[in-house]
């Protein structure tokens, strides 16, 4: 509910586009730095503990958003805490789920995707009718049952991983990153990470410059939520079909063509102003990128042993959020210098060129 409207909120309180970009970038930079250690900690000290850290971060982060209404720089701290919480959902939980069978990964990505999808139009409607302060408060209220779920997990689910204190003490920051990046020698992991870089760049454009563009052509927060819903809803729904589609088209081709079409969609978006055509291109955008999550999770699971799976997921997440961070900083600055439409188109061109370079490299 919150993240898609941080750019609009920043605009409402008079922040420059560059500052808005930095606020968003902090959220992604936290994940760049933290996802590999978080994945390693999941393998070493157990999944329940790391999930607990994520639940606490969600609770504290949404509380900090409320305080930021009085002092806007606190948004940086809120973004940091939310970044930690979201890292857990993309690293620890997917790795944990693969322990019970990879066929459950599409179900998880489907549920997570629809949670985001439903939250976006709901957030847009509430922002427009009740204001951003109400949205911050509601998010904080929603974080309370999340904490209760974590407590329930601790009480009812016996730990599958005993805390290995000696192994934890032997770890260093250098060793954690070194061992993680060594997995890039596996071509499947490398492909998953490189495409994560491009797709996360696409995600951050979708939640930063894209809503600003829609606002610039006169769409209300509710209509912006509708356009985002069309993109995210189709992207989330197609995930349930990932196994069937993989049976007919190999994963590499799905990633290649899907990411290229996402890039082309971004190139076209600034040329459109009709609500109907924006919804149609958003549906194509969503369908093209929707299969990304279950496919790369499967690639990592196929290429790593169970004891190292959290580390592999963390590496993929780090490469992805690196794309998000560089993307939002770079293209926010371009938007400030040139214009938001030109910046979005250039982001699409960069993604298409990235696809070409990845395929040349991997072949």
What pLDDT was estimated at residue 161? Answer: 47
Pure H helices in 69-131: 74-90, 92-98, 105-130
Please count the other Cβ atoms lying within 10 Å of the Cβ belonging to residue 159: 12
Q: What is the pLDDT of residues 235-292, one digit of tens each?
A: 888 887 777 787 777 888 888 999 999 999 999 998 988 999 999 999 999 888 888 8
Q: What is the pLDDT of residues 297-332, one digit of tens each?
A: 888 878 877 766 777 777 887 888 788 878 888 888
Q: What's the pTM value of the predicted model, to 2 decimals?
A: 0.72
Q: What is the pLDDT of residues 171-207, one digit of tens each?
A: 566 666 677 677 777 888 888 889 999 998 888 888 7
Dihedral sign of CA atoms 233, 136, 57, 183 in order: positive
CATH for 4-154+177-362, options being 1.10.1200.10, 1.10.3720.10, 3.40.50.720, 1.20.1250.20: 1.20.1250.20
Task: Sketch the domain layout of the chain as residue ranges.
Answer: 4-154+177-362
201: which residues sit within 8 A by CB, 6+ positions away?
323, 324, 326, 327, 347, 350, 351
Please count the other Cβ atoms lying within 10 Å of the Cβ belonging to residue 267: 16
């Amino acid at each position: 509910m919150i993240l898609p409207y941080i750019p609009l909120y920043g605009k409402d309180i008079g922040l420059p586009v560059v500052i808005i970009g930095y606020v968003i970038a902090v959220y992604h930079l936290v994940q760049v730095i933290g996802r590999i250690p978080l994945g390693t900690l999941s393998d070493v000290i157990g999944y329940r503990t790391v999930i607990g850290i994520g639940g606490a971060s969600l609770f504290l982060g949404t509380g900090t958003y409320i305080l930021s209404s009085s002092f806007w720089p606190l948004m940086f701290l809120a973004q940091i805490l939310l970044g930690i919480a979201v890292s857990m959902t993309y690293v620890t939980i997917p790795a944990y789920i693969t322990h019970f069978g990879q066929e459950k990964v599409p179900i998880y990505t489907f549920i997570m995707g629809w949670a985001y999808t439903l939250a976006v139009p709901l957030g847009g409607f509430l922002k427009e009718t009740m204001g951003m302060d109400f949205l911050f408060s509601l998010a904080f209220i929603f974080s309370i049952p999340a904490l209760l779920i974590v407590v329930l997990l601790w009480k009812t689910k016996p730990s599958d991983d005993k805390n290995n204190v000696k192994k934890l003490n032997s770890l260093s920051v250098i060793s954690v990153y070194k061992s993680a990046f060594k997995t890039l020698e596996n071509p499947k992991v490398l492909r998953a990470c490189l495409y994560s870089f491009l797709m996360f760049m696409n995600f951050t454009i979708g939640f930063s410059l894209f809503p600003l563009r829609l606002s610039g052509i006169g769409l209300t927060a509710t209509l912006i939520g509708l356009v985002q819903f069309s993109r995210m809803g189709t992207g989330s729904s197609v995930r349930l079909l990932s196994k069937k589609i993989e049976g007919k088209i190999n994963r590499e081709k799905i990633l290649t063509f899907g990411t290229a079409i996402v890039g082309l969609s971004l190139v076209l978006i600034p040329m459109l102003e009709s609500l109907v055509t924006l919804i149609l291109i958003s549906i194509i955008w969503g369908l093209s990128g929707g299969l990304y999550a279950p496919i790369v999770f499967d690639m990592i699971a196929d290429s790593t042993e169970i004891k190292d799976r959290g580390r592999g997921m963390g590496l993929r997440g780090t490469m992805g959020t690196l794309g998000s961070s560089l993307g939002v900083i770079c293209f926010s600055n371009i938007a400030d210098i040139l214009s938001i439409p030109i910046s979005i188109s250039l982001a699409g061109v960069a993604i298409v060129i990235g696809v070409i370079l990845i395929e040349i490299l991997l072949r």
